[in-house]
Amino acid sequence: MAEQREANTRHGTQLPPELQHMSCQLDAGIAWITVHTGRNDNAMTTRAYDELLACIRWAGSHRACRVIVLDGRSNFSAGGDWALHKERDTQNFRDHLSLLFDIAIAMRTCGRPVIAAVRGRCTGGMNQIAAIADLTIAADDAIFGQHGCRTGSYPIFWGTQLLPRIVGEKKAREMIYMSWEYTAQEALEMGLLNRIAAPERLDDEVVRYCERIKEASPRSLRFAKTSINAGSDFLYTAIWHARDALAEFTGTDEWHEAIDSYLERRAPQWVEHGPQW
């Protein structure tokens, strides 16, 4: 049975009483939100994304919070767990995608700078989370990529919309079409990152950025963030259209072949399962 959303974490600014996949703490004006799902490569479930949304909303509503940091334990995250996605039907997957969009809206409208502190793997939906963040700082051994086109999906969660604006259209097409992975140095050179640091120095570098941000006027930062976002706010409509298109793809023969071949690490058989063009 495909997992369902947790209704009690969707609205409001209170943290769930028991966070299973996140830790969230406020220290000296910095809200640290850490992903620790316990799954392979810190992969995300619907419950984990629900908790992430609750943590971001909580931090964004806390008057003492000046900056939000998203990080992951061992790995930032490999994104969604395709073994779970395989069991979804159209409506269930549409609900799941809507949750991801809620997270993006919360990140873009929280009024605080959001920093993605990346170590280990940062792929799929969580690579898009890192792209949505205002700033991204990574350990020099981190790995980035989008695998959607190899799993019967594509990065609709601000990936196809925002990545061309960040790394340029040609590079975004390469990242999405080819499903290649990139080193932190390559990600820095293409503009996906602001800074890289040795793994043992990552937290110190993130704190350095946070302390500098805390010196700025809170209202100026809020206004600046809103103003910068205005240039891409018109992309929301494209995201909702893409959500429905991808949801309708769910459950098709091609969808299952894409996921099965990815999980089984074999070449897909598109001749038998693909559409009749």
Q: What CATH number has the domain bearing residue 72?
A: 3.90.226.10
Position 7 confidence tier, pLDDT thresholds 50, 70, 90: very low
Question: Is 211 a domain residue?
Answer: no
Question: Is 66 a domain residue?
Answer: yes
Contacts of 2 (CB under 8 A, 6+ apart): 84, 87, 88, 89, 92, 93
Contact of 82 with 123, CB cutoff 8 Å:
no
Neighbours of 275 (CB within 10 A): 8
Would the pLDDT of 273 be above 60?
A: no
pLDDT one-digit tens code per residue, 227-238: 999 999 988 888
What is the domain range of residue 111? 7-201+217-271
Question: Is 97 a domain residue?
Answer: yes
Position 13 confidence tier, pLDDT thresholds 50, 70, 90: low
Q: What is the mean pLDDT of residues 191-219?
A: 98
Q: Higher model confidence: residue 181 or residue 239?
A: 181
pLDDT one-digit tens code per residue, 95-150: 989 999 999 999 999 999 999 999 999 999 999 999 999 999 999 999 999 988 88
Question: Is 178 a domain residue?
Answer: yes
Domain count across the chain: 1
Tokens representing residue 212 in the block: 């500098």
Question: Is 208 a domain residue?
Answer: no
Question: Is 207 a domain residue?
Answer: no
Question: Is 209 a domain residue?
Answer: no
% the chain with pLDDT above 90: 66
